[in-house]
Amino acid sequence: MLRRATFLGLLMACAATPAAGQSIRREAAPNAAIANSVELPAGSRIVYVSGTVPDLADPAAARGSPQRYGNTAAQTRSVLRTIEARLKAHGMTLGDVVMMRVFLVRPPGAQAMDFAGMMTAYREYFGTAAQPNRPARSTMEVAGLVDPDWLVEIEVTAARPPATGRGR
């Protein structure tokens, strides 16, 4: 009876422990800019980065001028650089991003959000030869952000699979 209880206890412990070598699984069409789904193995380390907005591009530019923060592509680059730095503080990179939410504001005088401008900058950081990973992503047009000159805000979730081996 004691052997059976010990065996059952060991079996249950193994079932609750993530298997070594598990990886994050991303499902996407070969030429898609984003993953249509991402699966994290049990025990993954997750980092949430709050909504990030652009840095001033030209502090001397007047409020309300496009030069103050730049166009949608410039603002997206600024935001992604900031997110990259925030992830680095956690030992992660943009390649670890598994989910992204992009909030875009219609530029003054435009009929709709500048999705093409955002994608121009996005493609410089995701799905490249240097960084081939692509996150699952939602992109939406919003009426405005806290600063009326901001056109872009992005929040991300990054994850790393459980460490393999010992001595981490």
Q: What is the pLDDT of residue 103?
A: 98
Residue 88, token pair as written in the block: 């680095």
**For 59-116, what is each residue's pLDDT tens digit?**
999 998 889 999 999 999 999 999 999 999 999 999 999 999 999 999 999 999 999 9
For the chain, give the percent of residues with pLDDT over 70: 85
What's the average model confidence in pLDDT over 18-25?
71
Give pTM, 2 decimals.
Answer: 0.84
The β-bridge partners of 157 are 48, 99
- Residue 5 CA to residue 129 CA, distance in Å, equals 52
Using the structure block, give the residue that is written with the tokens 């598990």.
Answer: 22
The neighbour count for residue 157, using CB atoms within 10 Å, is: 18
- Residue 127 CA to residue 144 CA, distance in Å, equals 29
Residue 17, token pair as written in the block: 């422990």
Q: Answer whether 134's CB lies under 8 Å from 124's CB.
A: no
Q: Is the pLDDT of residue 20 over 60?
A: no
Q: Is the pLDDT of residue 21 over 80?
A: no
Q: What is the pLDDT of residue 8?
A: 44
Q: What is the pLDDT of residue 28?
A: 93
Q: What is the pLDDT of residue 44?
A: 96
The greatest distance separating any two alpha carbons of the chain, rounded to the nearest whole angstrom, comes to 80
Q: What is the pLDDT of residue 9?
A: 47
